[in-house]
Structure 1
C-alpha cells in the first residue's frame, strides 16, 4: 500500500531527472579532470549516451542501479507495491539497454556503462574512465 496519493506519487515520479543527475555530473567532472573532452547526450546516436568521446569512438552511459537493474547491487531492489507494473517497466528498460548497446556496437562504437553505485568515489570513476576510455592515452 502506498503512503501518498496517486497524484502526489505521479508528481514525485515526474521530478526524477534523466539528465544532469548527480552521478552523471560526478562522471563529467572526473572525465574533465583527466583531460578527456566529450559531448553530451548526442541524439544522433542510439540511446543518446550521457557522454560521447568522439575521437575515441566511445559512448558512455551513467545508469541508475534501480532503473537499469544493476545485477547484484543493493540499490536494484524490487518494489513491494504494484510489483507486476514495476517488474514489467524495469525489464523493458533492461531490454532497451541491450538493444541500444547492440546498435552502437554495430556502428563501431565502444560502449561503457558506469553504474550509480560506482560514482560515490572519484577514484573509482577515474579508474573506470582510465581503463575503458583512455586506453593508456590519458
Structure 2
C-alpha cells in the first residue's frame, strides 16, 4: 500500500533530478558574452578546485556562475529558504557556502584569480559585459 508521503517524495525526487549543474541559462549567458567579446576559454575543468564554469588558462583566471538560491547570494530576492525542513536546508546551504569559500581559497593559493557571477546579474547584458571586461582585461 502506497502512503501519501511516497508520492510527495517521488515528486520531489523527479523535480530535483531536473536541476542542472551545467549549461544553465545564466552560465550560457556568461559564456555567450565572453565569447562574443573575443575571449576563449575551457569549460568545467574537473582538475581545478570547484570545477569552475569558465577557465581562461592564458590569463590564469576562472569564472563561477552561481545560482542565487543554492549559493546564497546575500540580499537577493531569489535567496529564499524553504519553510519545510528548514534545518536540513540551512545545513545544506551552509555546506555550499563553506565549500565555495574553500574552493576560492585553493584557487588563490595556486595563483588563479576568480570571479563569481551571480544568476541575477546575468539578466543585464551591458552590466555583465562590463563586469567581464573589468575582470578579463589584463
Question: Same fold by TM (over 0.5)?
Answer: yes
Instruction: Give the 5 Å matches for 1:59-98.
Output: 59-98=62-101
Instruction: Give the 5 Å matches for 1:34-113.
Output: 34-113=37-116
Runs (4+) of structure 1 exceeding 6 A deviation are none
TM-score, structure 2 normalization: 0.93
1:61 positional shift = 0.1
Question: C-alpha separation between the residues in 2 aligned to 1:58 and 1:19?
Answer: 19
TM-score, structure 1 normalization: 0.93
1:124 positional shift = 1.6
User: Cα deviation per residue 1:2-39 (whole Å; 9 max; x = unaligned)?
Assistant: 9x711111110111000000000000000011100000
Query: Structure 1: 5+ residue runs without aligned partners?
Result: none
Aligned length: 133
RMSD over equivalenced CA pairs, Å: 1.2
Question: C-alpha separation between the residues in 2 aligned to 1:54 and 1:128?
Answer: 19
Say which one has the larger Rg.
2
1:77 positional shift = 1.3
Instruction: Give the 5 Å matches for 1:111-130.
Output: 111-130=114-133
Does residue 8 (structure 1) correspond to residue 11 (structure 2)? The answer is yes
Question: C-alpha separation between the residues in 1 aligned to 2:126 and 2:61?
Answer: 20
Query: Structure 2: 5+ residue runs without aligned partners?
Result: none
User: Cα deviation per residue 1:62-118 (whole Å; 9 max; x = unaligned)?
Assistant: 000000000111111111111000110011000000000000000000010000000
